[in-house]
A and B are shown apart, each in its own frame.
Chain A
Amino acid sequence: MRRIAVSGLGVVSPFGTGVKAYWNGLSAGACAIRPVTLIETEGFRCRIAAEVPDGFGGSLRRSRADRLALAAAREALEDAGLSRVERAEAALAVGAVGGGMLEAEAWYWERFRGRRPPSRPTPRSMLPFSHAEALGNALGLEGPRETLVMACSSGAASLALAADLIADGVVATALAGGVDALTRICFMGFNALKLLCPEPCRPFDRDRRGMSIGEGAAFVVLEELGRARARGARIYATLAGHGMTTDAYHVTSPHPEGEGMVRAMAAALESGRIAPAAVGYVNAHGTATPQNDRIEARAIHEVFAPGRLLVSSTKSMIGHTMAAAGALEAVATILALVHEVVPPTANLETPDPDVAFDCVPRVAREAAVEYAISNSFGFGGQNVTLLFGRA
């Protein structure tokens, strides 16, 4: 069984460009959820989101999402120090949902109003696969290429599938991650479903009222552990296992007992041959909807005994970054192992008494953790749990 090392990280988040800015924000428990500037929000109950600040570069002929992805992917590849030949053979797995929809929407809006639509970017870059095409071309990646669309668990699924390619001996290295830019469809849709909180979300709080939306991109470089060691690569953590299950229950509501969530977490532990007691930290899906947090907490409880387990939600700080979430939160989990500091759950004033765990309210916690998991439980019941081990 080949063991997988994480040898490169790249992030563009609502805290700014780069892994450093990301960790600074996370460890400080800062909240990047603010009034929306990228799109019109008049008439909607929720008008806030966690937007990525300027500074991630890229040609404006490209979609915003392509530019986010490129910046994060570049950082990861440079961090890992892969050669041109290694890049040419590396697999590429991208979790995406919105694609270049932000620009396609702008085009369509202008067309609807009888005005001349902008000439660049065009709707051609609208579909989710556009990022993989852009990255593959700009970064010289010619190995197996896939775009996974799995709603909120896309970014995590891409890491799992890339790990499988390495474990199967198909490739030696892989670049895997996820990206999503804010879109009108996403923002309006979640508003219409009344799932958004008018104020920054408060996961696991007794008085939580819904999600906040965010945007960003994160990529990691994965390679076989022995190979990473042999070439003297920096090893951040191991991707020790993963579990992927489907609720097959309802198109938007999760299974009421979190049955698919439990199976995903159990499968991740089993694939890594790790006992629940060895896990010190759970980076929760933690969207702050009354339903998700209650069901997820219950599912976590079924797999793990409370004990000294720490649970926190990164979405409290950067919002729900959709297809990027699984990847951004995987990086947060990895950084927690590296720095021996567990990022907090921001905005958590009154912990929900029904949640049996220490949810690290508002202030980061020093903790040397051996194994940590990251949960992504997507719309439509697509559950992914990633298991990371200290390097």
Chain B
Amino acid sequence: MARVAVTGVGVVTGAVTGGREQIRAFLASSGAPALSVPSSALGGLIDETEARRLSRICQLSVAAARIALADAGLGPGAGLGLVIGAEFGDLRSTIAFVDGYLHRGPGGLSALLFPNTVMNTMAAATAIAVTARELSLTLNAPTVAGELAIARAAAAVRAGRADAVLAGGVDEFDSALAELLAEGGAPSERRGEGAGFVLLESLDTAEARGARVLGEIAGVAWRALRARPYGVGRGAASRAVAAALDEAGATSGEVGRVWVSASGDGPRDRWEQAILEEALRPARPPQTALASRAGRHAGLGALAVAAAALDEVSRGPAVVHAIARGGTHVALVVRSVHNG
């Protein structure tokens, strides 16, 4: 069983774009919430020839992946795997594709847009851009997709099935989409957009190549709590947090901070609090909800893991926690090199 090291991070979000240095600065600051990624954020990361063929969400994903690889000091193609989480995928291209047909019939269909109607388009584009030819997965889940992808990737590295994996997520969001989803019955919460990846490697490999290790993912678990689809469950007994702490060899009393997935969806946020209280009691470690600064999206998983690893203030391992309506539940235990 290998130990899982976090050796790089890259995020492209409304609130922060960059690697570990930019994230450190972001954590130390207290700017206003920023939910949308400005077009300037992609400058220098995507060239013109690529940009023509990449939809916006694919550009976000490729950009963040490149930043993460550079942050890790790795070139493309180093036996790299890829696990991407997403909640919505490329809905913008999907809508444009069907609009083409509705407005102009079969002649209005776009062959270039069609591949983007399948949610693995971001993984396909990113794999090509960074030459990732090992395992390449796209996981779809509400709210927790980024954390889930990182948990999946960490499990693969631990079991020796993968050497180096870029793991994280990407979501794109705008007001037109928000309106459509609301019409269709989606709950209201603070949604943002962006991409975020961490690079995971076995600790041995990382040390052998002299990587700058950010931290360690010491335990992961994902389960499902009983709940109706899109609903909030009544029970709060979680096996995920306990299993992750167990794997990390840590107790609830040692947890220094919990990075929560709260995002302004009242019932779901309260459910998260109930789960954490039950799982960690009597301990009540401080919490940080990154969605309050960046809006909820699948790129936050990587930002949370990196933030937990970079945290020089809290003592003890951190828990990165995410729960979705419908019950999908993820817990990661992150040890910082500073004081994990």
Direct contact of A and B (CB under 8 A): yes
Q: Which of A107, A146, A185 contacts B97 (CB 8 A)?
A: A185
* 170-200 of chain A: CB within 8 A of chain B: 170, 184-186, 188-193
A66-123 CB contacts (< 8 Å) to partner B: 92, 96-97, 104-105, 107-109, 112, 122-123
Q: Does B118 contact A (CB under 8 A)?
A: yes
Per the CB 8 Å criterion, the residue count for chain B at the interface is 64
A221 to B316, CA, bound (A): 40
| B247 closest partner in A (C-beta) | A170
Q: How far is the CB of A236 from chain B (nearest CB, A)?
A: 25
Bound together, the chains give a CA A152 to CA B249 distance in angstroms of: 40
In the bound complex, how far is the Cα of B221 from the Cα of A249, in angstroms? 33
Interface flags, B153-165, vs A, CB<8A=1, else 0:
0011001010000
Answer yes or no: B309 CB below 8 A from chain A CBs. Answer: no
The residue of chain A having its C-beta at the shortest distance from the C-beta of B102 within the complex is A112
Q: How far is the CA of A323 from the CA of B230 in the complex (A)?
A: 23
Whether A37 is near chain B, meaning CB under 8 Å from some CB there, is no
Kindly list 6 other residue pairs between chains A and B, CB separation below 8 angstroms, not including A97-B118, A184-B98. A146-B139, A147-B139, A168-B159, A245-B133, A248-B133, A381-B127
B82 nearest in chain A by CB position: A246
CB nearest to B81 among chain A residues: A246
B229 within 8 A of A: yes
Whether the pair A157, B106 counts as a contact (CB closer than 8 A) is no
Q: Does A352 contact B (CB under 8 A)?
A: no
Inter-chain contacts of A260 with B (CB < 8 A) = 133
Q: A134 near B229 (CB under 8 angstroms)?
A: yes
Interface residue? A59 (CB, 8 A) = no
Please tell me which one of the listed residues B115, B119, B125, B228 contacts residue A149 in the complex, with CB atoms under 8 A apart: B119
**Are A129 and B141 interface neighbours, CB within 8 A?**
yes
Complex: how many Å from CA A96 to CA B139? 10
Closest residue on chain B to residue A143 by CB atoms = B223
A43 interfacial contact with B, CB 8 Å? yes
B189 contacts A by Cβ under 8 Å: no
- Chain B interface, >50% SS class: mixed
Nearest opposing residue in chain B for A97, CB measure: B118
Binds A, one of B8-16, B63-71, B86-94, B196-204: B86-94
Indicate whether A144 sits within 8 Å of B223 (C-beta atoms), given known contacts A149-B119, A380-B120: yes
Q: A185 contacts B94, CB within 8 Å? A: yes
11 contacts between A and B (CB under 8 A): A122-B185, A129-B142, A133-B230, A142-B224, A150-B123, A151-B120, A192-B114, A244-B136, A248-B131, A248-B132, A379-B118
Residues of chain A with a CB closer than 8 A to B285's CB: none
The residues of B with any CB-CB pair to A shorter than 8 Å are 53, 82, 87-89, 94, 97-98, 101-102, 105-106, 109-111, 114-115, 117-121, 123-125, 127-128, 131-142, 148, 152, 155-156, 159, 161, 180-181, 183-186, 221-230, 326-328
Within 8 A of B (CB), among A121-139: 122-130, 132-134, 136-137
Shortest Cβ distance from residue B234 to the other chain A in the assembled complex, whole angstroms: 13
Residues in A neighbouring B137, C-beta threshold 8 A: 148, 150, 157, 161
Given contacts A44-B106, A92-B224, A144-B223, contact A380 B115 (CB under 8 A): yes
CB pair A133–B120 under 8 Å, yes or no, is: no
B124 touching A251 by the CB < 8 A rule? yes
Q: Which 5 A-B pairs have the closest CB atoms?
A: A123-B184, A380-B124, A192-B109, A189-B114, A246-B136
Report if A250 contacts B (CB, 8 A).
Answer: yes
A127→B226 CA distance, assembly (Å): 20
Given the interface pairs A136-B224, A251-B121, the reply to whether A244 lies near B115 with Cβ below 8 Å is no
Question: Taking the complex as formed, is A141 at the interface, i.e. its CB lies under 8 A from any CB of chain B?
Answer: yes
Do A142 and B327 form a contact, CB below 8 Å, given A150-B120, A192-B114, A251-B124? yes
